[in-house]
Amino acid sequence: MVLSSSLVTIALALCSALGSNAAPPTAKPTTAVGKLPALGWNDWNADGCSISEAKVVAAANAFVSRGLKAAGYQYVNVDDCWALKNRDSSGRITPDPAKFPNGIASVATQVHNLGLKMGIYSDAGTNTCAGYPGSLGHEDVDAATFAGWGIDYLKYDNCNVPSNWTDAASPPGGNWYNSNSAIRYRQMTAALDKQSRPIQFNLCIWGQANVWTWGSQVGHSWRMTGDASATWSFILMAINTNSQHLSSVNFYSHNDMDMMEIGNGALTTQEQRTHFAAWAFLKSPILLGTDLAKLTAAQIAIITNAELLAFSQDPNIGVPAKPFTNAGSPSTSTPEYFAGKSSKGTHVFVINTGGSTSTRTVNFSSVPGLGSGTFTVHDMWTGKDIGKFTNSYKFSLASHDTAAFRLT
């Protein structure tokens, strides 16, 4: 008795020396939000560190005036550089008064008054990527601060990780959920769970630590790659990477292919169509990453396409379209043929990854769940039926464009 109680005392003393929570938290993300891929905007690709209340409120107003809210876009998300470099005397992150003179809560109220939701950014390290305060070790105070401001979405980045938090080559028991990376994110999941306000949680972990194997136990979406760029090579790489991990995607569980670059750089119209269509049919979050006021009418038409958004946001079917082998088509380094179901039927998406316009033939018997026979082919881009076709449908597809069909 004496021996065992002193062992208990030693064990308790060790526990408190190691911190109050020796076992990492296992809290799961809320199911009050995050069922479908988030639709919204994030300032980073347009503004980098020069963010301000004026820019965020302008973006929120543009959601309404440019028809984005009506199309389903909801989240107005602030990225890095919104804070002061030092926490206040009570340990709270403080908005930079030069950028947000009325604080973040006031911006969130303005966003909410437009019927939209407000997102913010922090980091699972000592500092954010741009050197502002990170939330590692401050999860509870920061989650409470964000909830108190009326935040609805948290993008949680992966910069400035202390050396004792890096991962071994293989995590304990081979389970990446128990890696140090996952535990850094799990600490924030637990802190968010303590708040009365549900907050959608995005793990901006750049595809590290096999995040697709554990992401849905920790957050609602997780970044699969490094940062997007407005290039065709990035779009292909993101499609290729995500195509290998589509069994992780379902309700409350989304591979994040990063922000849209439509409006930035020199992507062709066809490349912009592929960028949007692939993010929609693979059920990635779609966060517009440009100055919304500068989008052309043609770009607005792409990003508000009702049928592609309906596929992304289908309330009954959570799984994405997946690559299939189309009989008669050559194999390509990035898959070109994808098929999936929606509440309205079977859909086929065809990407021309080649450098010139070419003829494509969808073989109905190759499409999972379809088979040979006669089907009405409907063009999701135009919203019109093309006609009835038996066994296959042949069409011309421009370089880097994506065709989107429903077959019934």
Ligand X SMILES: *[C@@H]1O[C@H](CO)[C@@H](O)[C@H](O)[C@H]1NC(C)=O
343 vs 365 by CB, closer to ligand X: 365
Distances from the Cα of 105 to the Cα of 52, 90, 108, 141, 145, angstroms: 13, 18, 5, 16, 10
| Choices 32-40, 110-118, 273-281, 363-371 (CB under 6 A): range interacting with ligand X | 363-371
| Choices 112-120, 290-298, 349-357, 359-367 (CB under 6 A): range interacting with ligand X | 359-367
Q: In terms of C-beta density within 10 A (0-12 exposed, 13-18 middle, 19 or more buried), how is residue 383 classed?
A: exposed
Query: Does 127 contact ligand X by CB under 6 A?
Result: no
Q: Are strands 286-288 and 322-323 parallel, antiparallel or unpaired?
A: unpaired
Catalytic annotation on 157? yes
| Choices 84-92, 192-200, 360-368, 400-408 (CB under 6 A): range interacting with ligand X | 360-368
89 vs 163 by CB, closer to ligand X: 163
Choose which of 164, 331, 356, 374 interacts with ligand X (CB under 6 A): 164
Q: Are strands 392-397 and 117-123 parallel, antiparallel or unpaired?
A: unpaired
How far is 404 from 401, CA to CA, in rounded Å? 10
Binding letters toward ligand X, positions 14-43, x by CB under 6 A: -----x------------------------
Length of the chain: 408
Q: Are strands 254-256 and 221-223 parallel, antiparallel or unpaired?
A: parallel
Catalytic annotation on 227? yes
How far is 206 from 160, CA to CA, in rounded Å? 14
Task: Find the catalytic residue in 123, 157, 256, 401.
Answer: 157
**CB-CB neighbours of 92 under 10 Å:** 15
Nearest alpha carbon to residue 206 among 129, 139, 287: 129
Task: Find the catalytic residue in 96, 140, 227, 379.
Answer: 227
208 vs 312 by CB, closer to ligand X: 208
Q: At residue 307, what is the residue type?
A: E
How far is 177 from 375, CA to CA, in rounded Å? 45
Query: Does 365 contact ligand X by CB under 6 A?
Result: yes
Choose which of 8, 13, 298, 327 interacts with ligand X (CB under 6 A): 327
120 vs 367 by CB, closer to ligand X: 367
Query: Does 54 contact ligand X by CB under 6 A?
Result: no
Catalytic residue annotation: 157, 227
